[in-house]
Amino acid sequence: MTVLVGLDIGTSGARAIAVDPAGAVVAEATHEYPLLSPRPGWTEQHPQVWWDATRQVLGRLGAQLGSQVAGVGLTGQMHGAVVLDSGDRVIRPALLWNDQRTEAQCREITDLVGRDRLIGITGNPALTGFQAPKLVWLREEEPESFTRIARVLLPKDYIRLRLTGDHATDASDASGTLLLDLRRRDWSRELLDTLALPLEWMPIVHESPAVAGRLLPRIAAELRLPAAIPVVAGAGDNAAAAIGNGIVRGGLVSSSIGTSGVIFAHTPGPSPEPGGRLHAFCHAVPGSYHLMGVTLSAGGSLRWWRDALGDGHAYDELTELAATAPPGAEGLVFLPHLAGERTPHLDPAARGAFFGLTARHGLAHLTRALMEGVTFSLRECMELMTGLGVIVDQVRATGGGSRSAFWRQLQADVYGMPVHRTAADEGPAYGAALLAGVGAGLYRSVEECAAVVRLRPEVAEPDPVRSRLYDEYFEAYRELYPSTRELMRRLSNLAATPSTEASG
């Protein structure tokens, strides 16, 4: 049996899966690692923990499947900045996608380049999560680290370096650096020169299914995998997940609820939202593009709620509890901006809130309102897409939220359209494995590899009565952020002001 391996370097852990050419998952392994937060709003990880986890999960698959592995595909968390010295040694912990320290640097980049020009080149405005502001921050705040930089890589591409010895990336992941020319699908010399960042720091950009290296003999021996098997360029986590969901043509949209929430739509060409309220990135389909809306705290909001309750609630218990409350939670609305917000607000100072609380509201109402608020935030992104002419024929649910029948039904009712689910809901690692199949010659194209994706028979159909009610609640939800934006910023500033404890 021939199998393909997909490796996902996630925020909370590494996951590897093995897939046969028909798309069936035959093996999997996971290994968790910690997230560092040295200051409020800062998130970092040591790249070594990714490598240690990679050795664990690939080693387990190698022990089980060995010579059957024909290729490896890489995916992982986007936007992180891994900075290396001239010997490819890590200089400092990587700054991650949800790190919020670079608001001032985003303003600097916007002033230097011009907002319209920046969106015109990269498809996006300057956002705190992207890689370019992190590099500017390092120059200003950690000059001793900055002067040692010889290479800059994204998280999954650091693992490629350890596996193959190659400095390479793919167009979809590189789109999230704020340094890629979206139309050329290569680094923008104009932006690099403007920001005084050397082109020599940047890895070679490939299309996602291209072979971007081969497994080093000593690594292959350690992992019990065949030497010199191809390691394809791979994709950023959302683009890889889209391949695994079959989102390789127009009309298909995926709705992902994991730690973050993502609405992902395939587009044939670059089509940035003029205000930069959606991400416009290269797709893992060569020559194609996608629009993406991102809610930073989707499933993360439910995890926060579970942890805040502190009495051992499981996720299934919470969703069952939410189902006992009526739609709309009797006038209660939740804003899910617990970690600032990406799209459509582009505001690191955005804050979460329950609005409309009364003495009548209990735990069931609060939980339902939270889940509804997350889904409203995704609908807001989807409506921006349809406003740009994106046609939505079918929504495919993915991520942890797709495993909940209640949350799938909630999405169908809020979106007002049927929600499907793929048979193999394995996330980005699954798409990375399929991409490896193209590089290994098992499929002729990304479209052909995505043809193995199958849908489950069950479909969540929207209830007309609930959908009409949610239309009204959605309008109320949409008014809350602009009505409270300035107050959110004031509170954010107050929280950042050092406090002096009163002495007794």
Residues catalogued as catalytic: 237
What three-state secondary structure class fits 460? strand
Strands (E), 271-359: 279-282, 289-295, 333-335, 353-355
The CA-CA-CA angle for residues 136, 138, 144, to 5°, reads: 135
Asked whether 91 and 149 are in contact (CB, 8 A), the reply is: yes
Cβ-based neighbour number of residue 199 at 10 Å: 11
CA 470 to chain centre: 27
CA separation for the pair 192, 112 (Å, rounded): 12
CA separation for the pair 176, 221 (Å, rounded): 34
What is the DSSP track for 17-59? EEE-TTS-EEEEEEEE---B-SSTT--EE-HHHHHHHHHHHHH
CA 390 to chain centre: 21
Measured over the CA atoms of residue 429, residue 7, residue 42 and residue 318, the dihedral's sign is positive
Q: What is the largest CA-CA distance in the chain?
A: 74
Asked whether 384 and 390 are in contact (CB, 8 A), the reply is: no
CA separation for the pair 284, 300 (Å, rounded): 26
What three-state secondary structure class fits 397? strand
CA separation for the pair 210, 74 (Å, rounded): 11
CA separation for the pair 233, 205 (Å, rounded): 8
Q: Any idea which residue has 């990135």 for tokens? A: 281
Q: Which residues of 335-347 are buried (b: 16+ CB within 10 A; e: fewer)?
A: bbbbbbbbbbbbb
Q: Please state the φ and ψ torsions of residue 72, each to the nearest 5 degrees.
A: -125, 135
What is the DSSP track for 213-281? EE--HHHHHHHT--TT-EEEEEEEHHHHHHHHTT--STEEEEEEESSSEEEEEEESS----TTS-SEEE
CA separation for the pair 182, 282 (Å, rounded): 7
Relative to beta strand 69-76, strand 94-95 is unpaired
